[in-house]
Amino acid sequence: MNKKLLVLFVVVAILTVVFIGGKTLPKGVATADSDPTNHTISVTGEGYVEVIPDIAYLNFGVFFEDLDPAKAMDGLATKASGIVDVLVKQGIAKEKIKTSVLNLSPIYSYNPQTGKSTLEGYRASENFIVETKILDAGKILSAIVKAGVNDIGGISFDASNKDNLKLQAIENAMKNARAKADASLKNTNYKVTGIKSISIESISYPQPVFKSFAAGATQANVPVEGGTLKVNVNVQVVFTFD
């Protein structure tokens, strides 16, 4: 073989070995042939914020019964208007008073001996949802009961700064995700270098159990305690590391 060709063959062979060998050189505990853009770790982060609610939603209703359906509706209108007037006098703005149900239904009595039902009259009913401050909820409940409310469904609670609470919970969830990613890479030669993707998987805003009241409660100030609310957030984060 020509000496020049032999030298050229040896050089090409050496370069080939260097290139292949370079692809198999180790880096820490990982292989160097991994593309850095593919160094990723997927983590679920959980975050929450707990707050004392400042808003109460009162759920209550009034009904009126009569043999004549028209009179039942007229009687309901009178009682409902009186209750709205009381609410306004208590400082509740009309836009905070919402009718949730308006219903007129027949009343039947059943005779088990004959197996027949007899029409006894009609019941007209209206249910309201009223937004108020928790501090005012007790006196408002007492006032509407005195005004003729005969059906109290209960109370639910909310927070006026709910949107800000959700953002804070997301921040806490992201911190939790980063802490998990750092912990998973501890005692290795790798560090988190960035974020490839973020997904907010869920935001839950559970309400406390409704507090119920007897319709006959007429004390000056029914005690109302809102407890606490917790905003929960889950995020899915894909971190890059090198």
Q: Which residue carries 């209960």 as its tokens?
A: 154
Q: Are residues 134 and 173 in the same domain?
A: no
Mark whether 67 and 149 lie in a shared domain: yes
Q: Which of 13-22, 35-44, 146-155, 178-187 has the highest mean pLDDT?
A: 178-187
Consecutive H or E run containing 201 = strand 192-204
Domain span at residue 236 reads: 33-51+162-241
Q: What is the pLDDT of residue 121?
A: 97
150, 192: one domain: no
Q: Assess whether 152 and 62 both reside in one domain.
A: yes
Report the number of distinct structural domains present in the chain: 2
Q: What is the pLDDT of residues 90-118, one digit of tens each?
A: 999 999 999 999 999 999 999 999 999 99
| Alpha helix segments (H runs only) across the chain | 3-23, 69-89, 134-146, 162-185
Q: For residue 78, what pLDDT is reported?
A: 96
pTM: 0.66
Q: Based on the domain organization, do 47 and 61 belong to the same domain?
A: no
Boundary of a domain, candidates 99, 133, 158: 158
Domain boundary among 135, 158, 181: 158
pLDDT at 119 (0 to 100): 95
Q: Do 139 and 203 fall into the same domain?
A: no
CATH number at residue 232: 3.30.110.170
pLDDT band of 36, cuts 50, 70, 90: low
Give backbone dihedrals phi and psi of 165, rounded to 5 degrees, phi first. -65, -40
Query: Percent of the chain having pLDDT more than 90?
Result: 59
Q: At 106, which CATH number?
A: 3.30.70.2970
Residues 93 and 47 in one domain: no
Phi-psi map region of 90: left, alpha, beta (phi>0 left; psi -120 to 50 alpha)? alpha
Q: Of 158, 176, 194, which residue constitutes the final position of a domain?
A: 158
* 120 and 168 within one domain: no
Helix (H/G/I), strand (E/B), else coil: 81: helix
Min mean pLDDT across 26-40, 54-68, 122-136 is at 26-40
Q: Is residue 8 domain-resident?
A: no
* Same-domain pairing of 214 and 231: yes
pLDDT value of residue 192: 95
